[in-house]
């Protein structure tokens, strides 16, 4: 059965891979599962029909028969569990790859999101100049720790897994800030993710949506 995901009709990042349907598209491409996409405007995301699928009125969602999921992490985990290619077979290696998914979403993404908020939404507040270095410091702490763990390995734990997919997706949010330049091994990890054919297909599909909408 072909799953259907939801995505922004007009993504705020202009289809540059930051909206979280990207993670889901990438996972689906990695496992070779075709999918349909339902595009939503910001107002449609807040309507009852979509809130029935996503209590917080966000994207992405995932529908497959009578299964409806929200949260990009849960969706990627579901895909990884039901197809070969994103999680190792060995039980311990599998558990570690899942741990990296949680680490990306629970430990690394929050300070990065905080930084985005501080820069984009709070930059004009009187206290912003004082707060920004603190928030940046928290991001750098996490990157220092992650960089030490990754060392000179290609991927976080053995072969590429859903853990890398999620970590690269999260780190990509920092790309335009230049912060990653201080961490060559993390920048290389991100670049390895972006170089994967499945990533490129997902990126192109997401960008095509924005390009089509903006030329209408």
Ligand X SMILES: N[C@@H](CCC(=O)N[C@@H](CS)C(=O)NCC(=O)O)C(=O)O
Q: How far apart are CA 113 and CA 123, in angstroms?
A: 14
Asked if residue 173 binds ligand X (CB under 6 A), the reply is no
Residue from 9, 44, 63, 71 binding ligand X (CB under 6 A): 71
Q: How far apart are CA 51 and CA 71, in angstroms?
A: 13
Report, in Å, the least distance between residue 38 CB and ligand X: 13
User: What is the biggest distance separating any 2 CA atoms in the chain, rounded to whole angstroms?
Assistant: 53
User: Other C-beta atoms within 10 Å of 204: how many?
Assistant: 14
Asked if residue 122 binds ligand X (CB under 6 A), the reply is no
In terms of DSSP H, where are the helices of the chain?
Answer: 21-31, 42-45, 48-51, 72-82, 91-102, 109-120, 128-150, 162-171, 184-194, 197-214
Parallel/antiparallel/unpaired status of strands 61-64 and 67-70: antiparallel
Asked if residue 58 binds ligand X (CB under 6 A), the reply is yes
> If 0-12 CB within 10 Å is exposed, 13-18 middle and 19+ buried, where does residue 60 land?
buried
Q: Which listed range, 31-39, 57-65, 153-161, 205-213, lies at the site for ligand X (CB under 6 A)? A: 57-65
Q: Which is nearer to ligand X, 12 or 159 (CB)?
A: 12
Which residue lies nearest ligand X, judged by its C-beta?
Answer: 58
Q: Which listed range, 29-37, 66-74, 88-96, 157-165, lies at the site for ligand X (CB under 6 A)? A: 66-74
Q: What mask of x and - would describe binding to ligand X in positions 12 to 41, judged by CB under 6 A?
A: -------xx---------------------
Q: What are phi and psi of 115, to 5 degrees?
A: -65, -40
Q: How far apart are CA 146 and CA 213, in angstroms?
A: 38
Query: How is residue 84 annotated by DSSP?
Result: T
Q: Which is nearer to ligand X, 11 or 147 (CB)?
A: 11
Report, in Å, the least distance between residue 133 CB and ligand X: 25
Q: Which is nearer to ligand X, 13 or 140 (CB)?
A: 13
Q: Which listed range, 67-75, 94-102, 145-153, 164-172, lies at the site for ligand X (CB under 6 A)? A: 67-75
Report, in Å, the least distance between residue 165 CB and ligand X: 13
Report, in Å, the least distance between residue 111 CB and ligand X: 15
Chain residues that interact with ligand X, rule: CB under 6 A: 19-20, 45, 57-60, 71-73
């Amino acid at each position: 059965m072909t799953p259907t995901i939801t995505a922004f009709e007009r993504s705020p990042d202009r289809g540059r891979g930051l909206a979280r349907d990207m993670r889901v598209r990438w996972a689906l491409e990695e496992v070779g599962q075709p999918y349909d996409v339902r595009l939503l405007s910001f107002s449609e995301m807040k309507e009852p029909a979509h809130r029935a699928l996503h209590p917080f009125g966000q994207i992405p969602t995932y529908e497959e028969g009578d299964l409806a999921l929200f949260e990009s992490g849960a969706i990627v985990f579901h895909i990884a569990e039901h197809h070969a290619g994103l999680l190792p077979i060995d039980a311990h290696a599998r558990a570690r790859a899942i741990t990296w998914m949680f680490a990306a979403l629970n430990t690394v993404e929050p300070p990065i999101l905080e930084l985005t908020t501080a820069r984009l939404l709070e930059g004009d507040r009187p206290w912003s100049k004082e707060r920004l270095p603190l928030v940046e410091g928290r991001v750098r702490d996490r990157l220092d720790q992650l960089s030490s763990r990754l060392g000179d390995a290609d991927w976080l734990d053995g072969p590429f897994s859903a853990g890398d997919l999620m970590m690269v997706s999260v780190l990509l949010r920092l790309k335009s800030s230049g912060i990653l330049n201080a961490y060559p091994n993390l920048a290389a990890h991100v670049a390895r993710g972006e170089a994967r054919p499945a990533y490129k297909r997902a990126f192109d599909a997401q960008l095509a949506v924005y390009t089509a909408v903006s030329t209408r």
